[in-house]
């Protein structure tokens, strides 16, 4: 029997040339949210990312949220640490200033903790976006 | 310095900022970014309100 289905050929994307911006933009974007876009002259996007991620993290701190450290031990603490780590420079500065020591004794403090974790996770997405712009995959 | 947000205002602030980031990072053109951001905002806040009313119904 003749094979009626045609062989689907996968569209192979052309290899993106490696460039310096592909390394610098994600790195600086991780340290300072939105900076990966700003150095690529995406001013409005960069500023909106900086304001949004920065405000979420700072609000989380002001709501007496808890910040996780690397030596959590508990699996949920480790996941929280990975989320917090995404905030980059803000996370490092908070640790250096001994902030984020809330005990999560009430609901709003728990929300604050989640705000900071989500700020870090959103920054991971922003870093990936900055990388895609740097390699020309996105405008 | 501390802030005391209500549950709704916390949900509102979360939905607003998360939607901005989602809109910027998940779409290509400015128009699509705004549309997707608004969609995410409505879904975040609408989902929270719907879940709240569902829990109220369950409790009764």
Cα dihedral across residues A36, A41, A42, A46: positive or negative: positive
Return the pLDDT at B1. Answer: 78
Q: Which of A52, A116, A129 is nearest to A90 (CA)?
A: A116
Hey, are the CB atoms on A122 and B10 less than 8 Å from each other? no
Among A67-81, A120-134, B2-16, B26-40, the least confident range: A67-81
Say yes or no to pLDDT of A121 above 60: yes
Residue with tokens 């996968």: A10
What residue segments make up the domains of chain A, in order of their start?
A: 27-134
- More confident: A17 or A68: A68
Q: Which residue of A has its CA nearest to B4?
A: A63
Q: Which residue of B has its CA nearest to A131?
A: B25
d(CA A127, CA A43): 15
What residue segments make up the domains of chain B, in order of their start?
A: 8-59
d(CA A115, CA B52): 20
First-to-last alpha carbon distance for chain A, in angstroms, is: 47
Phi-psi group of A104: left, alpha or beta (phi > 0 → left; psi -120 to 50 → alpha; rest → beta)? left
Residue with tokens 């989640």: A114
Q: What are A54's two structure tokens?
A: 């920065």
A24-78: per-residue pLDDT in tens? 999 999 999 999 999 999 999 999 999 999 999 999 999 999 999 988 678 888 9
Round the average pLDDT of chain A to a whole number and report it. Answer: 88
Residue with tokens 């603490």: A77
> Within the 24-83 window of chain A, which residues sit less than 8 Å (CB to CB) from chain B?
45, 48-49, 52-53, 55-56, 59, 62-64
């Amino acid at each position: 029997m003749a094979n009626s289905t045609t062989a689907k050929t996968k569209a192979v994307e052309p290899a993106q040339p490696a460039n310096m911006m592909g390394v610098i933009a994600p790195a600086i974007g991780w340290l300072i949210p939105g900076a990966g876009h700003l150095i690529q002259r995406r001013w409005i996007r960069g500023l909106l990312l900086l304001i949004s991620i920065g405000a979420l993290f700072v609000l989380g701190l002001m709501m007496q949220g808890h910040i996780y450290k690397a030596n959590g031990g508990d699996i949920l603490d480790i996941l929280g640490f990975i989320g917090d780590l995404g905030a980059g420079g803000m996370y490092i500065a908070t640790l250096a200033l001994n902030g984020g020591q809330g005990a999560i004794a009430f609901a709003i403090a728990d929300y604050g903790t989640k705000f900071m974790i989500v700020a870090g996770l959103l920054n991971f997405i922003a870093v990936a976006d900055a990388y895609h712009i740097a390699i020309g995959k996105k405008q | 310095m501390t802030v005391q947000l209500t549950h709704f205002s916390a949900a509102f602030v979360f939905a607003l900022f998360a939607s901005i980031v989602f809109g910027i990072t998940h779409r290509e053109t400015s128009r699509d970014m705004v549309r997707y951001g608004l969609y995410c905002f409505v879904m975040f806040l609408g989902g929270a309100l719907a879940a709240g009313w569902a829990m109220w119904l369950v409790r009764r």
